[in-house]
């Protein structure tokens, strides 16, 4: 089961919106197209091609035997990754009717492709790839493919192992090991692991094909020699294959998508569509307040008027203004522009227009009352920048960063605005894809949140969720038959938390923020910390200014909340589920926390990468390590993956063997017509299990202090 969580309903349309906001007229360029399985390819077979860096596609292909839902992204120029869900109409999800019912068998797969050679005058573009890594390996195989373009024709030749090469036209006895030429078909543990011993074994076959794009026409034609004979397929095919030649046509609707029809195996029609975008090119036109033009006022403006203009043009809120004989200081919270220098330049330009050029302007960014970064702008240089007195002079040339913070004297305070109470309402959607009871489960509701700053650094905050409609009552079991019941049920009671009450309190906590010196940030919190746990905890983060690394520690003592009560906690170490007819363990109290290292490599060949490694104790009292890696593209869209391995065995953990998932973080200002620092996150977790689960804390100091690293987008 894949779980997707979103902060608001905007996340529901985020993916589809990305396919349209960045494109203008249809270009008709010869860009690589997707295969039936997702990822650049012909139909059943891959090619040596890779898409442009940042390309993202989502698609569906289906025939009478298979339904493939796939998403593919070119993470780097030389690395393509694909996530796929496959439904088998002719097989049931489980042999247990009470567990899977009549639902179709569902398989998850991950593919990766590495580009080895770029195309040149003499050499083809060449790649090596791995299909269906880990999991049950229904379609697992490896290949090396080379593709060369001749005018409007792309010609591909390659060698495949495993599922793609099951015809064994080069080597292998296909009668061995269920028609797989002796290749190991079983998988380790409970699935979800990399079974490297299977790699480049079994049947070996040659494959090839071509793709032709007629000039000026929105179609592509494909011809393919399929190296699979389908004798070892897990799905019972309705028709035995009659040919290895596949034919296909793609009709391009525009740059954002296409539809396709293939005639495969000599007797099977396969239909589908693909939506495309590029995360480096996604952009939006904003209806925004114009940038202040340098035009000093003839009359002296009041500080109140200046303060209002600062908030309007720069997006800084909770502003404090100080004037010390021409040296102006401003402290506030950026809330409008993801690029922090955009807000800074607008703020400085507004002050420059007040009456006369200030000697200097000190701008300090505060988050929850904590000074995070500070710059000192030279008034004369700023005037040169706005007047463009030198070619290429930029705002960054007019200021220097300050490593320490000096609070101005209270006597120099000339203006202050502070909103202690904030609140908001938004649609909320929780989803699960690929569960046994239904391929798509969801909970639609309204989320309300509010916060009140008791002091500049002390906050009381809370959130509630009003359930409008959900189908989580379709859950027949919360644990699959045969899975372990020895772990404490820290996450797999999701059915009870989502469906028991129409109105539920997700969070209610008191938080204290602070600093210990210039580079150490701290927070302490207590209350109902998330929808499933209550307790106390704290976090300390050491993050030097302009350093590409940081070190953090969080420690918490938590107890599990009782889903049948708004404020209650479990009081018994076990519960008996009347629906499942099984006894489960609960978490009556545990210490949980992690030591985390954050690192931003400054490698030319791997740009905008962020790595996070956390080691510690998890909610089910297992101990281990979580590795999180992500890349941020030029539009601000961030794509990442994580994996957690603890001291639980695969049998103790259950199906999937260890916790893992993927996520896409989308800036809302690429979907709307107004700049914003807010984001929405779409996350995929293949299976919800109790092992390797962290506490879902409301605040993370690393994200709140993003402006301390020059190349880090300011996202708070």
Contact 701, 516 (CB under 8 A): no
- Tens of pLDDT, residue by residue over 43-94, are 999 999 999 999 999 999 999 999 999 999 999 999 999 999 999 988 877 6
What pLDDT is stored for residue 714 in this prediction? 46
The secondary element (H helix, E strand) that includes residue 444 is strand 440-453
Ranked by mean pLDDT, which of 16-25, 213-222, 598-607 comes out on top?
A: 213-222
In a shared domain, residues 377 and 454: no
Q: Judge whether 50 lies within some domain.
A: yes
Rounded distance between C-alpha atoms, residue 685 and residue 655, angstroms: 13
In a shared domain, residues 645 and 660: yes
Q: Judge whether 12 lies within some domain.
A: no
- Tens of pLDDT, residue by residue over 308-362, are 888 999 999 999 999 988 899 999 999 999 889 999 999 998 888 876 678 899 9
Q: Work out the pLDDT band at 8, boundaries 50, 70, 90.
A: very low
What pLDDT is stored for residue 10 in this prediction? 43
Given 416, 434, 462, which residue is the final one in a domain?
416
Rounded distance between C-alpha atoms, residue 601 and residue 623, angstroms: 27
Lowest-confidence pick of 53-67, 185-199, 519-533: 185-199
Mean pLDDT of 485-505: 82
In a shared domain, residues 412 and 425: no
**What is the Cβ-side half-sphere exposure of residue 479, based on CA atoms within 13 angstroms?**
26
In a shared domain, residues 377 and 427: no
What pLDDT is stored for residue 12 in this prediction? 41
Q: Cα dist. 282→56, 181, 401, 666 in Å?
A: 11, 46, 31, 10
In a shared domain, residues 142 and 221: yes
Mean pLDDT of 591-609: 90
Residue ranges making up the domain that contains 552: 421-708
Higher per-residue confidence, 684 vs 448? 448
Query: What is the CATH number for 160?
Result: 2.40.160.40
Q: Could you tell me which of 279, 211, 301 has the C-alpha nearest to residue 14? A: 279
Q: Cite the DSSP H helix spans in 8-65.
A: 10-18
Look at phi and psi of residue 226 and say left if phi exceeds 0, alpha if psi is from -120 to 50, else beta: beta
- Tens of pLDDT, residue by residue over 549-566, are 999 999 999 999 999 889
- The label of the residue with tokens 């690394």 reads 549
In a shared domain, residues 211 and 348: no
In a shared domain, residues 320 and 367: yes
User: Mean pLDDT across the chain, nearest whole number?
Assistant: 87
Structure-token pair, residue 397: 């040339």
Mean pLDDT of 243-266: 96
In a shared domain, residues 364 and 456: no
What pLDDT is stored for residue 536 in this prediction? 98
pTM of the model: 0.89
Q: Judge whether 167 lies within some domain.
A: yes
Contact 496, 526 (CB under 8 A): no
In a shared domain, residues 228 and 363: no
**What is the Cβ-side half-sphere exposure of residue 148, based on CA atoms within 13 angstroms?**
8
- The label of the residue with tokens 């009456």 reads 355
What pLDDT is stored for residue 586 in this prediction? 93
Higher per-residue confidence, 253 vs 390? 253
Mean pLDDT of 422-433: 83
Rounded distance between C-alpha atoms, residue 586 and residue 573, angstroms: 5
- The label of the residue with tokens 């880990």 reads 134
Mean pLDDT of 599-607: 82
**Cβ neighbours of residue 682 closer than 8 Å, sequence gap 6 or more:** 4, 6, 11, 14, 15, 663, 664, 666
In a shared domain, residues 695 and 551: yes
**Cβ neighbours of residue 308 closer than 8 Å, sequence gap 6 or more:** none
DSSP 8-state code for residue 118: -
Mean pLDDT of 659-688: 86
Q: Judge whether 692 lies within some domain.
A: yes
In a shared domain, residues 405 and 510: no
Three-state secondary-structure class, residue 259: strand
* The length of the chain, given as a count of residues: 716
DSSP 8-state code for residue 348: H
> Does residue 23 register a pLDDT over 60?
no
Q: Work out the pLDDT band at 195, boundaries 50, 70, 90.
A: low
Q: Judge whether 285 lies within some domain.
A: no
What pLDDT is stored for residue 333 in this prediction? 94
Rounded distance between C-alpha atoms, residue 527 and residue 678, angstroms: 25
Structure-token pair, residue 26: 């249809």
Mean pLDDT of 562-578: 89
Backbone phi and psi for residue 361, each to the nearest 5 degrees, phi listed first: -130, 120
What pLDDT is stored for residue 680 in this prediction? 86
Q: Work out the pLDDT band at 97, boundaries 50, 70, 90.
A: low
- The label of the residue with tokens 């032709």 reads 212
Q: Cα dist. 1→19, 97, 656, 689 in Å?
A: 26, 17, 10, 10
Q: Cα dist. 403→374, 517, 521, 550 in Å?
A: 7, 11, 14, 16
Q: Judge whether 297 lies within some domain.
A: no
The secondary element (H helix, E strand) that includes residue 702 is helix 701-704
Given 416, 431, 446, which residue is the final one in a domain?
416
**Cβ neighbours of residue 34 closer than 8 Å, sequence gap 6 or more:** 40, 41, 57, 59, 70, 72, 274
Query: What is the CATH number for 448?
Result: 2.40.160
What pLDDT is stored for residue 28 in this prediction? 43
Mean pLDDT of 655-681: 86
Counted domains in the chain: 3
Given 384, 416, 448, which residue is the final one in a domain?
416
Q: Cα dist. 410→331, 417, 554 in Å?
A: 13, 15, 35
> Does residue 417 register a pLDDT over 80?
yes
From the CA atom positions of the chain, what is the Rg in Å? 28
Q: Work out the pLDDT band at 605, boundaries 50, 70, 90.
A: confident
Contact 47, 26 (CB under 8 A): no
Q: Judge whether 616 lies within some domain.
A: yes
In a shared domain, residues 624 and 543: yes
Q: Cα dist. 278→282, 299, 483, 614 in Å?
A: 6, 49, 40, 31
Q: Cα dist. 125→142, 279, 705 in Å?
A: 17, 23, 42
Q: Judge whether 265 lies within some domain.
A: yes
Mean pLDDT of 127-151: 91
**Cβ neighbours of residue 596 closer than 8 Å, sequence gap 6 or more:** 551, 552, 553, 554, 612, 613, 614, 702
Mean pLDDT of 21-39: 68
């Amino acid at each position: 089961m894949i779980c997707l969580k979103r902060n608001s309903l905007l996340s529901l349309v985020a993916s589809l919106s990305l396919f349209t906001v960045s494109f203008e007229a249809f270009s008709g360029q010869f860009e690589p197209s997707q295969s039936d399985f997702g990822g650049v390819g012909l139909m059943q077979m891959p090619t040596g091609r890779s898409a442009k860096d940042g390309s993202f596609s989502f698609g569906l292909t289906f025939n009478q035997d298979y339904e493939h839902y796939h998403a593919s992204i070119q993470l780097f120029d030389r690395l393509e990754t694909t996530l796929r869900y496959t439904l088998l109409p002719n097989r049931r999800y489980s042999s247990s009717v009470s567990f899977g019912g009549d639902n179709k068998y569902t398989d998850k797969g991950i593919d990766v492709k590495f580009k080895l050679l770029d195309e040149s005058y003499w050499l083809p573009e060449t790649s090596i790839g791995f299909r269906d890594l880990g999991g049950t390996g229904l379609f697992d195989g490896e290949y090396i493919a080379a593709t060369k373009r001749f005018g409007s024709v792309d010609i591909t030749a390659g060698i495949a192992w495993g599922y793609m090469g099951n015809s064994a036209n080069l080597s292998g006895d296909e009668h061995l090991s269920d028609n797989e030429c002796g290749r190991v078909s079983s998988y380790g543990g409970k699935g979800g692991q990399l079974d490297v011993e299977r790699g480049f074994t079994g049947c070996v076959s040659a494959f090839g094909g071509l793709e032709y794009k007629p000039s000026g026409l929105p179609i592509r034609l494909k011809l393919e020699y399929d190296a699979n004979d389908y004798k070892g397929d897990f799905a019972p095919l309705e028709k035995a294959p009659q040919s290895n030649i596949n034919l296909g046509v793609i009709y391009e609707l525009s740059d954002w998508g296409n539809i396709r029809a293939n005639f495969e195996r000599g007797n099977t029609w396969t239909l589908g569509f693909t939506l495309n975008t590029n995360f480096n090119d996604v952009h939006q036109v904003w209806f925004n307040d114009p940038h202040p033009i340098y035009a000093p006022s003839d009359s002296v403006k009041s500080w109140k008027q200046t303060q209002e203009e600062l908030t309007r043009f720069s997006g800084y809120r909770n502003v404090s203004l100080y004037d010390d004989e021409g040296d102006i200081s401003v402290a506030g919270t950026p809330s409008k522009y993801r690029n922090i220098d955009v807000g800074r330049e607008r703020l400085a330009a507004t002050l420059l227009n007040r009456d006369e050029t200030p000697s200097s302007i000190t701008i300090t960014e505060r988050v929850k009352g904590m000074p995070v970064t500070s710059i000192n702008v030279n008034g004369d240089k700023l005037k040169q920048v706005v007047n463009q007195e030198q070619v290429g002079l930029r705002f960054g040339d007019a200021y220097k960063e300050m490593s320490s913070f000096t609070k101005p004297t209270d006597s120099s305070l000339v203006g202050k605005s502070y909103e202690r109470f904030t609140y908001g309402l938004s649609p909320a959607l929780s989803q699960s894809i690929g569960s046994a009871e239904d391929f798509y489960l969801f909970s639609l509701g309204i989320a309300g949140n509010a916060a009140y700053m008791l002091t500049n650094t002390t906050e009381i905050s809370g959130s509630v969720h009003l359930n409008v409609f959900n189908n989580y009552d379709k859950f027949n079991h919360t644990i699959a038959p045969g899975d372990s019941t020895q772990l404490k049920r820290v996450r797999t009671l999701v059915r009870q938390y989502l469906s028991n009450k129409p109105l539920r309190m997700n969070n209610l906590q008191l938080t204290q923020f602070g600093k210990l010196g210039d580079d150490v940030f701290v927070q302490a919190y207590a209350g109902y910390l998330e929808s499933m746990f209550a307790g106390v905890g704290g976090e300390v983060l050491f993050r030097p200014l302009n350093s590409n690394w940081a070190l953090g520690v969080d420690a918490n003592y938590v107890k599990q909340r009782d889903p049948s009560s708004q404020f209650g906690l479990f009081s018994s170490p076990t519960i008996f589920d009347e629906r499942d007819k099984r006894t489960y363990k609960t978490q009556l109290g545990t210490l949980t926390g992690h030591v985390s290292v954050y690192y931003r490599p400054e490698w030319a060949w791997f740009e905008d990468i962020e790595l996070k490694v956390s080691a510690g104790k998890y909610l089910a009292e297992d101990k281990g390590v979580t590795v999180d890696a992500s890349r941020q593209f030029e539009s601000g869209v961030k794509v990442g993956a994580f994996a957690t391995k603890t001291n639980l065995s695969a049998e103790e953990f259950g199906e999937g063997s260890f916790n893992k998932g993927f996520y896409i973080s989308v800036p809302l200002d690429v979907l709307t017509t107004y700049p914003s620092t807010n984001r929405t996150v779409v996350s995929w977790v293949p299976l919800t299990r109790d092992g390797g689960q962290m506490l879902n804390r409301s605040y993370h100091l690393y994200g709140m202090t993003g402006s301390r690293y020059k190349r880090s987008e300011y996202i708070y």
